[in-house]
Amino acid sequence: MQRSLFAVTITALAAIATFGGLAFVWAAPHPHKAASRAEGDWRVLDPVVYENIAIFPVVSGSSQDTSSFLTLEEGLASGEVIVSERGAVGMVRNRDGVRTIPDYGTSASVNQLVLINRSKRPLLLLAGELVSGGKQDRIIGKDRIVPVGAEPLPLDVFCVEHGRWTGNSSQFTAAKTIVHPSVREQAAVEQKQTEVWAAVQARGRIRGQLRRASAEAIRPRHFRAEG
């Protein structure tokens, strides 16, 4: 009798557990199948990790049409964009006639140039772009878009050529390069001329060390025979 009662108890507990499990399964939310979407040729690359930050680059083999924008390099090469020292030019002729440049000062300034966009396209400026000429080479201080027909504007810049303050022309040309990210960061984020100079000098020291190491590596070795 005791054995029969024990068997009945075990059977009842098993039945409760079974029905409870089925009830849990029925009550659980059923995940809906995610809507399929075309991923195209987008690819996620391996993460770039720095300290406690991981960035996953997402790239695509297709390119976007950016022809509606003008780059600084294109504009300076074609003459549609003019960058000059402050106070160096009084007037400029564009397609609509003569436009007077506002007086931003009677003398050149280390951290400000004058930019004119004479093109029919918006001008895209990127922080860290290098322009050569004037009294010293400068880099663009921040990202910005200069619209079509904009008035000549003061352009915030930073000097990367410490020591020179002379030049045969007040005009600038594109150097076709963007400075090292460490220099660009000081210009765009910290926005301090002394920090920009310090970053430039640091990069110069690194380049010098690399050149000396390279020269040492290829220097011929002379061995003296023993005996």
Chain segment 141-198, per-residue pLDDT in tens: 999 999 998 889 899 999 988 778 887 788 899 888 889 888 988 888 888 899 998 9
> 150 Cβ partners below 8 Å, 6+ apart?
117
| C-alpha 19: how far from chain center | 60
The percent of residues in the chain predicted with pLDDT above 70, rounded, is 64
Query: Which runs of consecutive H residues, i.e. helices, occur in the chain?
Result: 2-27, 72-78, 181-185, 193-218
Rounded Cα distance between 108 and 105, Å, is 7
The two structure tokens encoding residue 224: 């003296």
Enumerate the domain spans of the chain.
70-179
The 10s digit of each residue's pLDDT in 87-120 is: 765 545 455 555 545 545 557 888 999 999 999 9
One-character DSSP codes across 127-142:
TTEEEEETTS-EEE-S
Which pTM was predicted? 0.60
Query: Please, what sign has the CA dihedral across residues 19, 20, 21, 27?
Result: positive
**Cβ distance 92 to 170 under 8 Å?**
no
Question: Token pair of 168, please?
Answer: 């045969």
